Amino acid sequence: MTTKSMAVIGAGTMGRGIAQVFAQSGYEVYMHDTVPAAIESATKTIGKLLNRAVEKERITADEAAATQKRIHAVPTLSDIGRHSLIVEAVIENPEIKIGLLQAAQPMVTDGGILASNTSSISITQLAAAVERPDRFIGMHFFNPVPVMKLVEVVRGLQTSDETVKQTIEIAEEVGKTPVECNDHPGFISNRVLMPMINEAVFALQEGVAEAEAIDEIMKLGMNHPMGPLALADLIGLDVCLFILEVLHRDLGEDRYRPCPLLRKMVMAKRLGRKSKHGFYRYD
């Protein structure tokens, strides 16, 4: 049996989740981040989540250990090796993403796929910066990655049918449910989700209700697992603001204008769970 392998660039919340999912499905995973502390923290988090799965008797201790062993931390990008799939999951900054994608492209095997987990940057734009735009695709995972079933498979203008087909097969192989859409600002997920979050922030700003009440209404009335403000804290308020700015700029409609309170919170570095303070406190 041949060993399956892949690489993830970025060991943040999304990158570490993607690494865990592939390692649990038997892939040798090469996880790169330029910040050693990020790799260390990712390895610890994955270990904790695997231990929890052992406690809950979902996997055995041996399986947890084998999964952890399949994740290789790689501090230097050029050392990740060659793989049929490389997924980029770094900060939402086109310049940074393009730089890393260009550096990673020689490490994709012939016929392999280079994917981005971007939540809002145009796949067509990123694809235009690499040598094989036909082998480039959006593979958009959702937070928390080990729990959420969806992978939004985003087809850029030049993405080939074969690349889409293979990406769908890979997502299914690792236990996810892929759903395809075309490259357009915010794709489907964030074009629909972010206006709801933004509206909840406007309601808070206007004093329509307290944060807890807004979230409770959406949880109990709409059966959402968490309210929009708690969800914004989970995603990161800076990420929400960035996506809304993309929607506002690229779709050119006032209805996507980011709420001033959201801007203020990002300026104050109240970014949600990651800074331990957003619409709620996480002490």
Active site residues: 119, 140, 152, 190
Site for ligand CAA contains 201 (CB under 6 A): no
Measured CA to CA, the distance from residue 283 to residue 272 in angstroms comes to 12
Q: Which of 207, 221, 225, 252 binds ligand CAA (CB under 6 A)?
A: 225
**Least distance (Å) between residue 111 CB and ligand CAA:** 28
Question: Does 226 sit near ligand CAA (CB under 6 A)?
Answer: yes
Residues ≥6 apart with Cβ < 8 Å to 185: 120, 122, 191, 246, 247, 250, 251
Residue 67 CB, nearest approach to ligand CAA (Å): 14
Q: Which stretch binds ligand CAA (CB under 6 A): 62-70, 106-114, 125-133, 139-147?
A: 139-147
Q: Which of 129, 146, 199, 209 binds ligand CAA (CB under 6 A)?
A: 146
Q: Does 143 bind ligand CAA (CB under 6 A)?
A: yes
In the structure encoding, which two tokens stand for residue 114, read together?
A: 């280079």
Footprint on residues 108-137 left by ligand CAA (CB under 6 A)? 119
Note whether 144 binds ligand CAA by CB under 6 A: yes
Residue 143, phi then psi, degrees to nearest 5: -90, 130
Give least dist CB 78 to ligand CAA, A.
29
Residues 22-81 that bind ligand CAA (CB under 6 A): 49, 52, 56
CA–CA–CA angle 264, 283, 237 (5° rounding):
30
Q: What is the CA radius of gyration of the chain?
A: 19
151 to 10, 117, 120, 172: CA distances (angstroms): 18, 9, 14, 9
Task: Answer yes or no: are the C-beta atoms of 223 and 180 closer than 8 Å.
Answer: no
Please tell me whether residue 190 binds ligand CAA under the rule CB under 6 A.
yes
Helix (H) or strand (E) holding 106: none
- Binding residues for ligand CAA, how many (CB under 6 A)? 17
198 touches ligand CAA (CB under 6 A): no
Examine residue 142 and tell whether it contacts ligand CAA (CB under 6 A). yes
Is 89 within 8 Å of 18 (Cβ atoms)?
Answer: yes
Stretch that binds ligand CAA, among 144-152, 171-179, 208-216, 250-258 (CB under 6 A): 144-152
Q: What DSSP letter does each residue of 172-221 carry, written as one string?
A: HHTT-EEEEEE--TTTTHHHHHHHHHHHHHHHHHTTSS-HHHHHHHHHHH
In the complex, the residues that contact ligand CAA under the rule CB under 6 A are 49, 52, 56, 119, 142-144, 146-148, 189-190, 225-226, 231, 235, 239
